[in-house]
Structure 1
Amino acid sequence: MSPFRVVAPLAAAALTLTLAGCGHPATAPVALVSTTAVAAAEPAAPVTSPRLASDPARIGDDLVADELALRDPSTPEDALVAAAHRQQVAYRAIGRHPDWDGIIRPKIPPELLGFYDRNIEARRQLAAMAVPSDTLPAWRIEPPPPADELLGYYREAEAATGVGWNYLAAINFIETRFGSIHGVSTAGAEGPMQFLPSTFAAFGEGGDVRNPRDAIMAAGRYLAANGFATDPDRAIFRYNNASQYVAAVSQYAAAMAADPAAFGDYYRWDVYYFSTAGDILLPIGFAETERIPVQDYLATHPQ
Structure 2
Amino acid sequence: MTRFLIRRHRWTTVLLGLPILFTPLTVACRPLNTPTSKRPEAVKPTVAGTSIELPTRSGLPVAPNGRHYPLVPVEANSTATLLVGIETALVDPNHDPAEIAQLAHQQQVIYRVLSHQPAVAAAVRDQLPSQLQWVFDQHIAARRSFLAMHRGPASTTLPAWRIQKPASQDVLLKAYRSAATATGIPWEVLAAVNLVETGMGRIDGVSVANAQGPMQFLPTTWAEPGIGRDGDIRDPWDAIHAAARYLVRRGGLKDIRRGLWGYNNSDHYGKAVMHYAALLQREPLTYRGLYNWQIHYAASAGDLWLHEGYAASSPVPVSVHLKRYPHSAPPQRAKPN
Question: What TM-score bracket applies, with the shorter chain setting the length?
Answer: 0.7 to 0.9
TM-score normalised over the length of structure 1: 0.86
Does structure 1 conserve the Cα–Cα contact (< 8 Å) formed by 2:17 and 2:149?
no
Shift in CA distance, 79/176, structure 1 to aligned 2, threshold 3 Å: same
CA distance in structure 2 between the aligned counterparts of 1:268 and 1:15, rounded to whole angstroms:
13
**1:4-53 residue CA offsets vs partner (Å, 9 max, x unmatched):** 328992333432589xxxxxxxxxxxxxxxxxxxxxxxx74565311111
| Structure 1 Cα separation of the partners of residues 134 and 181 of structure 2 | 27
Give, in whole Å, the separation in 2 of the partners of 1:180 and 1:8: 21
The CA distance in 1 between the partners of 2:216 and 2:122, in whole Å, is 37
Separation of aligned partners in 2, 1:53 and 1:6: 38
How far apart are 1:231 and its partner, in Å? 1.1
Partner of 1:9: 9
**Is the contact made by 2:112 and 2:143 (CA closer than 8 Å) also made in structure 1?**
yes
For the structure 1 residues 73 and 220, does the alpha-carbon distance in structure 2 shift closer, same or farther, using more than 3 Å as the test? closer
**SS of match in other structure, 1:14:** helix
- DSSP-derived class of the 1:218 partner: helix
Rounded to whole Å, the distance in 2 between the matches of 1:2 and 1:254 is 30
Is residue 130–residue 274 contact of structure 1 (8 Å, CA) maintained in 2? no
Q: Which is higher, the Rg of structure 1 or of structure 2?
A: 2
Amino acid at match of 2:205: G
Query: 1:166-181 to 2 correspondence within 5 Å?
Result: 166-181=188-203
With CA pairs under 8 Å and 6+ residues apart, which has the higher RCO, 1 or 2? 1
1:122-141 equivalences under 5 Å are: 122-130=142-150, 132-141=154-163
Q: Distance in 2 between matches of 1:67 and 1:139?
A: 31
Could you tell me which residue of structure 1 aligns to residue 266 of structure 2?
Answer: 242
Structure 2 segments unaligned to the other structure (5+ residues)? 19-62, 330-337
Say whether the 8 Å CA contact 1:7–1:189 is kept in structure 2.
no
Cα 1:45–1:159 shift into 2, 3 Å:
closer
Q: Does 1:268 align with 2:292?
A: yes
Match of 1:145 in 2: 167
Gaps of 5+ in 1: 19-42
| Compared CA separation, residues 101 and 45, structure 1 to 2 (3 A) | closer
Aligned to 1:284: 308
Contact 2:5 2:211 (C-alpha < 8 Å) held by counterparts: yes
**Aligned: 1:77 with 2:97:** yes
Aligned to 1:59: 79
Contact kept in structure 2, 1:16 and 1:270, CA below 8 Å: no
Determine whether 1:102 maps to 2:130. no
Paired residues, what number? Answer: 279
CA distance in 1: counterparts of 2:15 and 2:76, whole angstroms: 23
**Contact in 2 for aligned 1:50/1:85 (Cα 8 Å):** yes
Show the counterpart of 1:22.
Answer: none
Q: TM-score, normalised by structure 2?
A: 0.78
C-alpha deviation, 1:102, in angstroms: 2.6
**CA 1:224–1:81 in structure 2 vs 1: closer, same or farther (change >3 Å)?**
same
Q: Give the C-alpha shift of residue 187 in structure 1.
A: 0.5
Corresponding residue number in structure 1 for 2:204 = 182
Distance in 2 separating the partners of 1:7 and 1:44: 33
Q: Which has the higher helix share?
A: 1
Q: Retained in 2: the 8 A contact 1:115–1:259?
A: no
